[in-house]
Structure 1
Amino acid sequence: MKKMIKVLIVDDSAFMRKLITDILSNEENIEVIGTARNGEDCLTKLKTLKPDVITMDVEMPVMNGLDALKEVMALYKLPVIMLSSTTKEGASNTILAMQYGAVDFITKPSGAISLDLHKVKDEIVTKVLQSSKANITNLVKPLQTQKMSYNRRVFNSKNELDARSKVLQKPLVCIGTSTGGPRALQHVLTRLPNQFPAPILIVQHMPAGFTKSLAKRLDSICHIEVKEAENGELLKNGVAYIAPGGYHLKLKEIGTSVAIQIDESEIRNGHRPSVDVMFESVSHLSSFRKIAVIMTGMGSDGAKGLVELKKSGNTTAITESEQTSVVYGMPKVAAETNLVDEVADVDKIADVILKYIGM
C-alpha cells in the first residue's frame, strides 16, 4: 500500500482552497488534511496537524506567504510549494521565497483567483509528489546574501587576464538545474570572484516572467554580473547568462566571437529552456574548454547533452552530491552516464569550478 502524502493548503481565497483541494483529492495517494486562510492560520493549524507538504499562497492578509514560510522553515522544516501570480511583484516575491526555503513554486494561470487552475493541475500534483521526497536539510541552511570578500588572487590587469585565458583555451562554464536551483545557484555564483575569466551559461527550469527577477536578485549579491540572456549578445567573461523562461539558450560562432541565440524551438524533456539543448549547442564549439555542471532537479534533463559534450572532447563534468541536492534526480542520471569527473556538495562546487578554470 502506498504511503499517503498529507497536504495542508494555505490560501486566503475559499474558492482557491476548494479548487486545490479538489485537484489533490482526486489523487489516490494524496490526502488534504486541512486548509488555512492565511499564514497565521497556517501556523495555528500546524500545532495539531502534521502535513508532509504545504501549498502556500504568496499574497495573503494578516500574515503573507513569505512571512509564514520563514516561520514554517524555522519551526517545522516542512516542504513548501508557493503559489504565485506572474506579476512583476509576484515574480520577485517568488524568488525571495526560494531564498527563504520553499522547495518549488506554481504560477497561477490568471492571477490571485484563477478560475482556470485546472490548466496547471498536472503540475500541482507532480510538484506535491516530488516535494514530499525533497531533501529539506539543505533548504534550512543559511544562504550567502551579501557579496563575499576573497583571499583568492584576482586578475588585476586586462593583459594578465587575456594571457591567462589563452593558456586555458577560452574556458566556458555551463550550468543546468531545476527544483531547488535558485538556492543552488546562489550558493555557487556568490562564491565566484570578480573578473572571473569565463562566460557562464545557465538553464534554470522556470516559466516566463521569473528568470529576470532571479537574475536581478543574483546580480545584486554576486561579484560577477548576472543577467537574463538576450538574443544576439556576444559572450563576455565574468558574466552569467540565465536562459529566459520559455526559451531555449543556444550559441552561434560569429568570427572569433560567440553569440547567444534564444528561440522557441521544440520543448525537450518537458522543458523550455532545456539543459540538453544548451549542452548540445555548446558541444559544437571547438575553441572552448567546457566545464559542465548539473545540480539539483527532478528528471533527467542534461544527461543526454552531457554525453554530446563529452563526445566533443575537452569537457569536465561536475554534479551536485546527493547529500545537498534538494531533489537528486538530474545529478543522479548524469552520474549514471559514468562521464562525471567530480561530485561535490553545493557549497563546494564554486571551488571545483575555480580549480578547473585554473584560479
Structure 2
Amino acid sequence: MRKVISDMLNQDPRVHVIGTARNGEDALRKRKELRPDVMTLDVEMPIMNGLETLKHVMNDDPCPVVMISSTTKQGAENTMLAMEYGAVDFVTKPSGAISLDIDRVENEIVEKVVYAARARLRRSSPKPIVQLRAVQFVKRPSRTLPSSAQKMIAIGTSTGGPKALKDVITKLPGSLKAPVLIVQHMPAGFTRSLAERLDSLSELTVKEAEDGDVLKNGVAYIAPGGYHLAVKQEHSSYVIQTHLEEPRRGHRPSVDVMYESLSAINDIETIAVIMTGMGADGSEGLMKLKQSGSCYAIAEAEESCVVFGMPKVAIRTKLVDEVVHIQEIAGRIMRQVQ
C-alpha cells in the first residue's frame, strides 16, 4: 500500500513523496527528519496506530494529515475520532485493509493531499475572532411571518466539517426550539458514525436522517452519505426526504439541494450556516432561500476555516448577514432562535 500510494502521488507534478514509514513510531521519527508539508496516515498500523500517531503530530508540531481508512464500522468510528483530533480529511479504501483496487480513488487521494497542503490548522484554544458585516438586502417578495413561525437551522460543511460540527452542535442546548439539518460531505458508511459521535457529546439528539423522519425541535439530522436530504411540508409537520437524484457540483448530499427544499416551504424561518469546506456548495441554495423569504445567513470566518472555500463563495453573494469565528457560531444561532 505504501508503494502504490507513493506512486500515485508522485505521478502528479504538484506532489513529491519524500518518505514512507512502516508504522506510527517510524513515521514520527522520519517526520522530524524530513519535515513534510502533508502526511497521509493509515488508521490501521502496527506498533502505533494512526490515531495515536495523529495525536502526537497534533500535540507536538501540527501538520496537515489526510487519513486513509477502511469502511468498516470500527474504521468509520476511528476516522471520526481522527477528524476530531485534527486530521484535515480522509480517503476510504475501496475494499478493506489491503485494497489492490486503490487506484479507484487515485484522483481523490491526490486532490485531498494537494488541498491539505493549503489547509489552515486550527489551534486547540483559538481566540475568538468576530467579524460583523452589514446586512445585504435583496429584492424579494414581502412576507410577514408570525412570531410563532417554525425555525429551521440548516448547516452545510465539507473539509474540516466534523471538527467544526463538534464545536457548534455541542454548544446548542437540548431545549433548542428548532430542528437542525446538517449536510456534511461524506461517503456512505461514515455519517452514522459521525451522528453517533456527536450524539454522545451533545445535549441535542443527533441522528443520521432517515426518509420519512418528522422534524422535531432539539434534534439534529445528518444527511446520510450518498443521499440528498430535502424537507417537505405535510399538513402541520415537516418531513425529511432522502433521494438519489444526480449529484450537485459533484456532491451527494448537497447543501444546495437542502437549502432549495427549505426555500419552497412557506411560513418558516431558516438560519442558514455555511462552514469550512472546499468548493462552492450552498451558495446557489442560499440565493433561493434569500429570494423566497425569511432567512438569516451565517458564514464561518476565514480565521477558523480549515479550507475557506464554501464560506468564501457564500460571502461573495453579499447575502451573508454575519461572518464569525467557529467558536461564536452556536451563540449567533441562539440569538436567532430565541
Q: What TM-score, normalized to structure 2?
A: 0.93
3-state SS of the aligned residue for 1:350? helix
Unaligned runs of 5+ in 1: 1-15, 143-164
Deviation at 1:213, TM superposition (A): 0.3
For residues 34 and 168 of structure 1, the distance between their equivalents in structure 2, rounded to whole angstroms, comes to 60
For residues 82 and 191 of structure 2, the distance between their equivalents in structure 1, rounded to whole angstroms, comes to 14
For residues 37 and 87 of structure 1, the distance between their equivalents in structure 2, rounded to whole angstroms, comes to 22
Q: Is 1:115 aligned with 2:100? A: yes
Deviation at 1:169, TM superposition (A): 1.1
Task: Write out the 4+ residue segments of structure 1 that deviate beyond 4 Å after TM superposition.
Answer: none
Task: Identify the residue that residue 213 of structure 1 maps to in structure 2.
Answer: 193
Task: Identify the residue that residue 283 of structure 1 maps to in structure 2.
Answer: 263
* Residue pair 1:177, 1:294 contacting (<8 A) in 2 also: yes
For 1:1-359, what aligned pairs fall within 5 Å after superposition?
A: 16-138=1-123, 140-141=124-125, 167-358=147-338
Greater RCO (CA < 8 Å, at least 6 residues apart):
2
* Residue pair 1:249, 1:262 contacting (<8 A) in 2 also: yes
> For 1:276-315, what per-residue CA distance to the aligned partner results, in whole angstroms no more than 9, with x for missing partners?
0110111111121110000000000000010010011100
> For 1:130-157, what per-residue CA distance to the aligned partner results, in whole angstroms no more than 9, with x for missing partners?
100101134x449xxxxxxxxxxxxxxx
For residues 32 and 240 of structure 1, the distance between their equivalents in structure 2, rounded to whole angstroms, comes to 41
* CA separation of 1:194 and 1:166: change in aligned 2, threshold 3 A: farther
For residues 213 and 226 of structure 1, the distance between their equivalents in structure 2, rounded to whole angstroms, comes to 11
Task: Identify the residue that residue 8 of structure 1 maps to in structure 2.
Answer: none
For residues 354 and 252 of structure 1, the distance between their equivalents in structure 2, rounded to whole angstroms, comes to 24
3-state SS of the aligned residue for 1:48? helix
3-state SS of the aligned residue for 1:293? strand
3-state SS of the aligned residue for 1:18? helix
> For 1:206-235, what per-residue CA distance to the aligned partner results, in whole angstroms no more than 9, with x for missing partners?
000000000000001101110000001111
Matching residue's letter, 1:101: G
3-state SS of the aligned residue for 1:30? coil
| Identity within the alignment, % | 58
Unaligned runs of 5+ in 2: 127-144
Deviation at 1:166, TM superposition (A): 6.7
Task: Identify the residue that residue 137 of structure 2 maps to in structure 1.
Answer: none
> For 1:139-182, what per-residue CA distance to the aligned partner results, in whole angstroms no more than 9, with x for missing partners?
x449xxxxxxxxxxxxxxxxxxxxxx973411100000000000
3-state SS of the aligned residue for 1:265? coil
Matching residue's letter, 2:254: S
> For 1:235-268, what per-residue CA distance to the aligned partner results, in whole angstroms no more than 9, with x for missing partners?
1000000000000001111111111000111011
